[in-house]
Structure 1
Amino acid sequence: MLSLTQPLENEIEINGQHYEWDLSYDNVLRFYELMDDDSVNEIEKVQIAFKMFVPECIADIETQIETVQAISKYVSGQDEEESEPSEGSHKQYYSWEQDADYIYASFLQDYGIDLIDLQGTLRWEKFIAMLNSLSERTKFSQVVSIRAAEIPAGNSEYEIAERNRLIQLKDLYALKGEDSVSYAEQEIDSMFDRLVESAQKGGETNE
C-alpha cells in the first residue's frame, strides 16, 4: 500500500466527486470494532462506517455500501495482487483488541512511538508497515511467533520438554474464540457479499 515515490492519497472519488477520507490508524481500528458489534445491524454498520471514513459526503445506501466495501478491501490489503495472506503470515495470529497492549508497547520499544499520541494523525498504511516490521525482540512479535509455531514431535527428553513448554505458552497467549484479524476480515467480506446481493435484488438487509 505504501510507495516511496508517491504521496498517500488524501481523497477518495465518489460519484465523480473527490472527498477527504479519514484513514488514520485509530479510525480504521474503530471500523473493525464497529463491524464486530452485534448490537448494530449490517445496514447501520455501513452507514456509520461511511460517515467515519468520508464525513463530508452524502450518498445513497448503494453508494455507501460500494464505498465502504472498497475501503475495507483497501485497508485489509485485498486490492493488491496478493489478496490472501500467505501461509504462516502473522496476520493469521493476532487480534486488534486482545493484543492492543502488546502492539502499543512494541511500537514504543522499537520506534519510540506512542500510538495514543498519534491517534487521528498516523495513517493506516504507515501503521501497518511498521506493525509488519516489528523486531523479534518485541512482545507482539514473540506472541505471534508462539501462536504460529508448530508443536514439535519427537520423544527425547529435550523434545518432550520443548513440546510441553510450547503448549503452555500457546495456552497462555491463545486467541479467544475466533478473535483474529483474518477471521474478522472474512466476516466483513461475507457481510458485504450479502449486502451487495440484497441491493442487486432491490431488497433490504437488517441483520
Structure 2
Amino acid sequence: MLRLLYSIDIDGRRGRIIRWEERPIRVYDDAMTALRIIALFGDEDVSPYAKQYIVMRLLFPDPEAVQEAIEDIGGLLSNAIWDVAGVDIDGSHDGEYGESIIDWEQDADVIEASLWQAYSAPLSDIAHKVSFHEFGKLVGMAPHETPIGQAIYYRTADEPKSTKYNQEDVARFRKLRQAWSLKNKASVRDAGAAANNQATSMFSSLKRVAHG
C-alpha cells in the first residue's frame, strides 16, 4: 500500500515523500503533474511502453533510481497514478468517482480565464502548488459568474419546469446548456476505463523491465 509520509517542495513544485516496499520515494503530486498524466492516458496514439516511460518521468524526480530500487514498479505506478491524478489503470477503483462534469482538455481555456478572474493567478502558478484534489476544489468553487462557473451550472442544473409563462426562459436555458455541454461526454466519463484497456500491455512491459 502507498503510504504518505509528508509533503515537500521539489524544485518549486509540490511533492511528497511516500513509502513503498519500505523505501522512501519522492513523488511530484501537484495538479500540473495530474493534468499531464490525464492527458497522457487519454492519448490513444501513445503506446503502453511509451506511457510507462513518460509517466515515470512525470511522477518521479529520479525515475532511474526508482526503477532500480523498486521490485513492484507496476504496483507503485498504479497506486501513485490513482493517488496523484485519479486515473485507475488497474481497475481496482472502479466506480469510486461519479460522472465527470469537467473535461480538462476541452475546458482548459475556460478554466484559465476563470482562475484569473477568481484568484488573480494563472493556471500554471496554481497547478504547481496544490494537489489535483485541491485544484479541483478551487475550480469547482469559482464564482457562478466565471466561465467555468457557468459551465458547471448548465451541466448540472435541472431545466426550469415549463409553463406557458416561461417559454423564453426555458429556451434560453436549453441554448446555454447546449453551448456549455461536454463535446465528448462518454470519453470523459470513461477516461479510467480507456486507461484500463492498456493496463495489461503496460504491466507486461513493466515486468520485463523489472525482472528481465
Which of 177, 180, 183 is the matching residue for 1:176? 183
Count of aligned residue pairs for this structure pair: 187
SS at match of 2:100: helix
- TM-score when scaled to structure 2? 0.71
C-alpha RMSD over aligned residues: 3.4
Q: Distance in 1 between matches of 2:192 and 2:113?
A: 24
Q: Which consecutive residues of structure 1, in runs of 5 or more, have no partner in the other structure?
A: 1-5, 86-90
Instruction: Tell me the equivalent position of 2:12.
Output: none
Q: Distance in 2 between matches of 1:179 and 1:15?
A: 37
SS at match of 2:19: strand
Which of 101, 107, 116 is the matching residue for 1:108? 116
Q: Distance in 2 between matches of 1:129 and 1:8?
A: 19
Q: Distance in 2 between matches of 1:39 and 1:77?
A: 18
Which of 107, 121, 135 is the matching residue for 1:127? 135
Pair 1:54 & 2:63 matched: no
User: 1:106-149 CA deviation, whole Å, 9 max, x = no partner?
Assistant: 22222222223345444434323322322223221111110122
CA distance change for structure 1 residues 138 and 179 in 2, over 3 Å: closer, same or farther? farther
Which of 88, 102, 105 is the matching residue for 1:94? 102
CA distance change for structure 1 residues 132 and 173 in 2, over 3 Å: closer, same or farther? closer
Pair 1:35 & 2:35 matched: no
Which of 181, 185, 193 is the matching residue for 2:192? 185
Which of 87, 96, 101 is the matching residue for 1:83? 96
Which of 150, 153, 159 is the matching residue for 1:145? 153
Q: Which consecutive residues of structure 2, in runs of 5 or more, have no partner in the other structure?
A: 9-15
Q: Which moved more, 1:43-52 or 1:15-24?
A: 43-52
Q: Distance in 1 between matches of 2:50 and 2:176?
A: 40
Q: Distance in 1 between matches of 2:138 and 2:6?
A: 17
Q: Which has the higher strand share?
A: 2
The answer to whether the 8 A contact 1:147-1:170 is kept is yes
- TM-score when scaled to structure 1? 0.72
CA distance change for structure 1 residues 110 and 179 in 2, over 3 Å: closer, same or farther? farther
Residue 29 of structure 1: how far off its partner (Å): 0.6
Q: Distance in 2 between matches of 1:97 and 1:145?
A: 19
